[in-house]
Structure 1
Amino acid sequence: MTKILVIEDEIVVGEMISMYLTDEGFEVLRVETGRAGQEALSSFQPDAVLLDLVLPDIDGTDWCAAARRLSEVPILVISTKSKVVERIEALDAGADDYLCKPFSMQELKARIGAAVRRTKPTAIASGPDGPPPPEPAEPPSAIRMDLHKRQIFVDETPIETTFTEFELMKLFFEFPGRVFSRDELINTVRGIDSYVNDRAIDVHITNLRRKFEANPKEPRYLKTVWGVGYKLLLG
């Protein structure tokens, strides 16, 4: 699995990129500071780095130059800085590509793929003996809801949820497989959570995944439908 390190201190942007790439089959680690990114470059050993130039502790261009002295990992800058001189500075510092925010997630994925192929062409090869055998699949877990007890169970283990989280899940369970936009989810909990907004919905979804998904980064049940919203898959 291709590993992507996302260095982005803007929480909403970072989480949206991470969720999209995770749903597309990447292994993603997101950090919010340049220093944490330096540590992750060594410990996580990513196949590519997405780097915001505006970080709270280190200038992104300086981070790029320092990383390039240590590693050949592809670095794709993602930034609101759009001036030609700023792009040139980043590329001169060692960046492999530069995307100005806002950008298309599909284009981001394509550019990541191109960068990884340039540096690791053997990554897409099967090898002399063909592709490795798939790892044994873990037995699927079962998720259910008890409306009377206001409880969600995973393999008969109760999962604690907040009132708002339960109301969201109740809607998902009522219409499994249907894609709900963030506005629809906001309307569901409006009046319960007076501070609910797009960002709050994303946080609730992230928290729910942490509570009942075996691997929150690769959710089996609560799926993101990019550009639309979320849906629940059962069975």
Structure 2
Amino acid sequence: MTKILVIEDEKIIGEMISMYLTDEEFSVYRVENGQAGIEAIRSYVPDVILLDLMLPDIDGIELCEQVRKSSDTPIIIISMNSKVNERVRALNAGADDYLVKPFSMQELKARIGVALRRYRPSVAEADTRSYIAAAAAPEMAVPDHGITLDLQKRLLIVHSQPVETTFSEFELMKLLFQYPGRVFTRDELINTLRGIDSYVNDRAIDVHITNLRKKLEHNPKEPRFIKTVWGVGYKLNLE
């Protein structure tokens, strides 16, 4: 059963979310402050975290950053604040999605589903992911190619040198590293970023890939790693 941790100090909202998700056959654990949330992440080990930004003991952005240093568990922000700069702050802090209150419970369930799909590969795909994890956890490294992803620090390292990436670029690179050789359609890549970049589209994906090539490739115009599959999308070539 999927485990949801709700960190929400408003009792009515927290209980409504908990009741709805329980009825939808999720396992739900709710706490009312940040410290209890940190303890619950360790003991309850949730599959998804729903995090309110206005907590009585700690700023939600700070808590998000703290969690992201040691965990890749999906974090969905639930907040009354609809300002763009606040959404950007949350996403830059490591949040995977952002829902503005009041929101539809059906939409919340759908957003949880999207977050889970990003972090739960199919059984066939899991073999590839397990191979990578066994080879280089907590890093994803490509032998003899000089490219490493440090998941905890969210760093792309090329020939031992850290390379700056945007949040979206890192998410794309992480997905490609998990499944080398697999061709991803633009729609699949868009779905990976949906919630991180509200304006993501085909053109945005192409721009992200172009920027990654500039950071990875010796000759970006003749890419060795991120290959275009014409009429379909992109893949990471490690051969």
Q: Please report the TM-score for the alignment, with normalisation by the length of structure 2.
A: 0.51
Return the letter of the residue paired with 1:24: E
Match of 2:64 in 1: 64
| Distance in 2, Cα, partners of 1:13 & 1:107 | 15
Higher Cα Rg: structure 1 or 2? 1
RMSD across aligned C-alpha pairs, in angstroms? Answer: 1.9
Asked if the contact 1:117/1:123 (under 8 Å) is kept, the reply is no
Structure 1 residues 22, 4: CA separation in 2 closer, same or farther (over 3 Å shift)?
same
- Counterpart residue number, 1:75: 75
- Return the alpha-carbon distance in structure 2 between the equivalents of residues 124 and 112 of structure 1: 22
Structure 1 residues 123 and 23: CA distance shift in structure 2, 3 A: farther
Residue 117 of structure 1 aligns with which residue? 117
Residue number in structure 2 paired with 1:94: 94
The one-letter amino acid paired with 2:25 is G
Partner of 1:171: none
List per-residue Cα deviations over 1:94-119 (Å, max 9, x = no partner). 00000000000000000001101101
Render the CA deviation track for 1:30-69: whole Å, top value 9, x for unaligned: 0000000000111000000000000000000000000000
Write the distance in 1 (CA, Å) between the matches of 2:75 and 2:104. 18
SS at match of 2:69: helix
**Structure 2 unpaired stretches of 5+:** 128-239
Instruction: After TM superposition, list the pairs within 5 Å mapping 1:128-143 onto structure 2.
Output: none
> Shift in Å at residue 123 of structure 1?
7.8
Q: CA deviation at 1:122?
A: 3.7
**Equivalent-residue separation in structure 1 for 2:66 and 2:119 (angstroms):** 19
Q: Secondary structure at the match of 1:121?
A: coil
C-alpha change, 1:120 and 1:80, in structure 2 (3 Å) is same
Tell me the percent identity. 65
2:193 corresponds in structure 1 to: none
1:1-235 aligned at under 5 Å gives the runs 1-122=1-122
Deviant stretches of 4+, over 4 Å: none
For structure 1, the 5+ residue unaligned runs are 128-235
| Secondary structure of the corresponding residue to residue 94 of structure 1 | coil
For 2:93 and 2:68, the matched residues in 1 are separated by 8
Q: Give, in whole Å, the separation in 1 of the partners of 2:12 and 2:62.
A: 24
TM-score w.r.t. structure 1 length?
0.52
What letter corresponds to residue 52 of structure 1 in structure 2? D
Confirm or deny: 8 A CA contact 1:53 1:79 kept in the other structure: yes
CA change 1:5–1:123 in 2 (3 A) is: farther
For residue 120 of structure 2, what is the amino acid of its counterpart?
Answer: K
2:4 and 2:120 map into 1 onto residues whose CA distance is: 14
